[in-house]
Chains A and B, each alone.
Chain A
Amino acid sequence: MAETSTGPTPTPTGGAVVTGLLVEAIDLHKTYGYTKAVTGVSFSLRRGEILGFLGPNGAGKSTTLKMITGVLIPDRGTARVDGIDITGAPLEARRRFGYLPESLPLYWEMQVDEYLRFVASSRGMKGAEATRRIDALIERLGLGRMRKRATGALSKGFRQRVGLAQAMLHDPPVLILDEPTNGLDPQQIVEIRALLRDLARERAILFSTHILQEIAAICTRILVIHAGHLIADDTPDALARAVDAGSWEVVITGGSELGESSRAELGLASPTRSGGERIYRAGSTIPASDAAERLAAESGGRLVAIRRDHATLEQAYLRLTGAAPGGGVA
């Protein structure tokens, strides 16, 4: 039972389901009042994976992470961390992950090392073991000069590092981080990414973000959540390709924007501008080039190209979440 095992080091227990998966979210549902925050979210995560959890604000990212960490109890479904059910054996499951919440909550009056010492005792670490681990993390996260500072007096970047130290203190096999680079400067973001990449070798990392470069930079897999539903689960490249498939675009330079009737004739959406060019997205059928040439000339411009639309991850995401102009939910 969770109650009887001691120490922060994960040890296999009789209750564990051995699947080789470090995180399993199984059909998670959560409703706040009349609002369905999360509906039927399922996914899993293996050692070595960095899973980016992407979605617009209010899509259900934080709610899902909170259900996996047991901060919230799902209305339906469950989550397992390293095979341990978070609702069935919460204490045992909590020893196997570290969690960094989005708002970086710390006890403002405590000094950095005092806070980390409290976290260590809460996690059952004692004396020399705790000191060694705290020293190592303070060194690794560059918190040396801040050791004796009250956490309330730290800049956001340093608070983030203290939060990360808190999550990593017991060396868990799973790290769950809610917007870990939010509010950091570019230098700090690069450092945190390098750290996560390094950490992921022996662990599974699940983190949420709404910054797409983040996903492209470090994730091995991406989950897109929108309005409480999981709408994509793939590698960043595959996702961009999948959204991309079959769509064409017409590029016209100069002149005025094509009128609605011209666009309708070619089956084009409203354009996006890129330099002096207007890019019109077409459907999966290739627009007739002679008609495109004629209509471009009529508008005073010139047809540059009719080409395959190579979606970036940004475009893929915007189309998936239905936020792109003229783009529908895939």
Chain B
Amino acid sequence: MTGVGVVYRRELKAYFNTPIAAIFIAFLVLFLSFWLFLYKPFFAFERAEMRSLFAVMPWALLVFAPAITMRLWSDEFRVGTAEVLSTFPLHTRDIVLGKYLAALSVLGASLLCTAGIPLAIGLLGEPDWGPIIGGYAGCLFIGAFFVAIGCFASSLSQNQVIAMLVGVFLGIIFTLVLSPMFAAILAAKSPALARLVEQAGVISHFDSIERGVLALSDVAYFVAGSVLFLALNTFNVEWKKY
């Protein structure tokens, strides 16, 4: 088994042998069900679609992903297990990747557990499945990006709460600051800057995937963003040795 696999399996066990993963999954399913069926008057519109749910998803994942990842590194540094881990013949980048994939699996499992919502909608009416599948794909991509941000944030502090807050803060930069709304304000003064701001943020890329257009540029954006933060994570773990 490679280093990535060893670390992945340990982290996944840590999520599922403790109530952590179950709590996250229950929380996400309950929140999204409440949002779609009670808060947004799904039944009043009489339309079998999940648009309102996917509109809130980036914001939900913005908080949810750092909550999953907050313990990944901060706990290792706080307890000191990182010290032992660093004496095993494993590459730091493999450890980083193993942890990332474990957290991403928990996020994937959480999204899978919300499948009851589209299934219920399928029973109630005849939804257009394209946008729903596109919406889930968008969630997975934006989730993967936020999980990478969360992993990096977790390596910054021994305190899980601080790690989560930093993760949310970085997420907010990519969602709210680098957003189409902010770009619209900038557009009057500098259209070029406005385009840059919109392209650098996650919302415009999420929206186009959610619409069902799986463009290479959007996929590349999320992959590159995730790789960047995982590289920062690796760098930060190595840097602590100096």
Question: Which A residues fall within an 8 A CB radius of B?
Answer: 2-3, 8, 66, 69-73, 91-92, 94-95, 97-99, 101, 103-110, 114, 118-119, 121-124, 126, 166
Which residues of the other chain, B, contact A95 by a CB distance below 8 angstroms? 89
Interface centre among B1, B6, B91, B242 (most CB of A within 10 A): B6
CA distance A94 to B10 in the complex (A): 20
Q: How far is the CA of A72 from the CA of B87 in the complex (A)?
A: 10
Asked if A121 contacts B83 (CB within 8 A), the reply is no
A71 with B83: in contact, given A94-B89, A124-B89 (CB under 8 Å)? yes
Q: Is B122 an interface residue (CB 8 A)?
A: no
A84 CB to nearest B CB, Å? 11
Given A91-B91, A107-B81, are A122 and B86 neighbors across the interface (CB < 8 Å)?
no
Query: Quick check: A122 and B6 within 8 Å, CB to CB?
Result: yes
Q: Which residues of A contact B82 (CB under 8 A)?
A: 105
Minimum Cβ distance to chain A for residue B240 (Å): 9
**B241 near A118 (CB under 8 angstroms)?**
no
CB distance from B64 to the nearest CB of A (A): 22
List the A residue with the shortest CB-CB distance to B95: A122
Please list the 5 inter-chain residue pairs (A to B) with the smallest Cβ-Cβ separation, ordered nearest first.
A105-B80, A122-B88, A105-B81, A91-B89, A121-B6
Partner of A71, one of B3, B18, B87: B87
Q: In the complex, what residues of A have CB within 8 A of residue B83's CB?
A: 66, 71, 101, 105
Known contacts A92-B89, A108-B79; 14 further A-B pairs (Cβ under 8 A): A2-B89, A66-B83, A69-B87, A71-B241, A91-B91, A94-B89, A103-B79, A106-B79, A106-B81, A109-B17, A118-B10, A121-B9, A122-B88, A126-B1
Most chain B CB atoms below 10 A, which of A66, A92, A122: A122
Q: Which residue of B lies closest to A124 (CB)?
A: B89
Contact A73 B241 (CB under 8 A): yes
Instruction: Tell me if B220 is interfacial: C-beta within 8 Å of chain A.
Output: no
In-complex Cβ contact of B90 among A109, A114, A122, A126 (8 A): A122
- A-B contacts, 30 of them at CB < 8 A, read A66-B83, A70-B87, A71-B83, A71-B87, A71-B241, A72-B241, A72-B242, A91-B89, A91-B91, A94-B89, A95-B89, A99-B87, A101-B80, A105-B81, A106-B81, A107-B10, A107-B79, A108-B79, A109-B18, A110-B13, A110-B17, A121-B1, A121-B6, A122-B6, A122-B85, A122-B88, A122-B90, A123-B88, A123-B89, A166-B84
Is the CB–CB distance between A119 and B87 below 8 Å?
no
* Known A105-B79, A107-B81, A122-B3: A70·B86 in contact at CB below 8 Å: yes
Whether A118 touches B6, Cβ cut-off 8 Å, given contacts A94-B88, A94-B89, is: yes
Please, which residues of chain A bring their CB within 8 A of the CB of B81? 105-107
| Residue in A104, A105, A114, A119 whose beta carbon sits within 8 Å of that of B88 in the complex | A119
Number of interface residues of B (CB under 8 A): 25
B 65-88 to A, binary, CB cutoff 8 A, 1 in contact else 0: 000000000000001111111111
Query: Within residues 67 to 119 of chain B, which ones have a CB less than 8 A from any CB in chain A?
Result: 79-91
Cα distance A98–B89 in the bound complex, in angstroms: 11
A236, B117: Cα distance in complex, Å: 73
Q: Would B80 and A103 count as touching, CB distance under 8 A?
A: yes
A166 to B241, CA, bound (A): 22
Q: Assuming A107-B10, A109-B17, A109-B18, is B84 touching A99 (CB within 8 A)?
A: yes
Q: Does B14 contact A (CB under 8 A)?
A: yes
Given known contacts A118-B10, A122-B6, is B241 in contact with A70 (CB within 8 Å)?
A: yes
The docked-state distance in angstroms from the alpha carbon of A106 to that of B82 is 10
In the complex, what residues of A have CB within 8 A of residue B87's CB? 69-71, 94, 97-99
Bound form: Cα–Cα A3–B91 in Å: 9
- Bound-state Cα–Cα, A99 to B91, Å: 17
In the complex, chain A residues whose CB is within 8 Å of the CB of B85:
122
CA distance A71 to B242 in the complex (A): 9
Q: Across the two chains, which residue of chain A brings its CB closest to B77?
A: A105
Given contacts A71-B241, A94-B89, A95-B89, contact A105 B84 (CB under 8 A): yes
Taking CB atoms and an 8 Å cut-off, the chain B residues in 34-90 that contact chain A are 79-90
Report A-chain residues with C-beta under 8 Å of the C-beta of B7. 122
Residue of chain A at shortest CB distance from B80: A105
CB distance from A255 to the nearest CB of B (A): 54
With both chains docked as a complex, state the minimum distance between the C-beta of B30 and any C-beta of chain A, in angstroms: 25
Instruction: State A73–B88 Cα separation when bound (angstroms).
Output: 16
A106 to B14: give the CA distance in the assembly, Å: 13
**What chain A residues lie within 8 Å of B18 (beta carbons)?**
109
Most buried by A among B3, B84, B91: B84
Distance in angstroms from B94 CB to nearest chain A CB is: 10
Tell me the complex Cα distance, A2–B80, Å.
25
Query: Which residues on A sit within 8 Å (CB–CB) of B17?
Result: 109-110
Query: Which residues of chain B are within 8 angstroms of A110 by Cβ–Cβ distance?
Result: 10, 13-14, 17
CA distance in complex: A92, B9 (Å): 24
The answer to whether B86 touches A71 (Cβ under 8 A) is yes
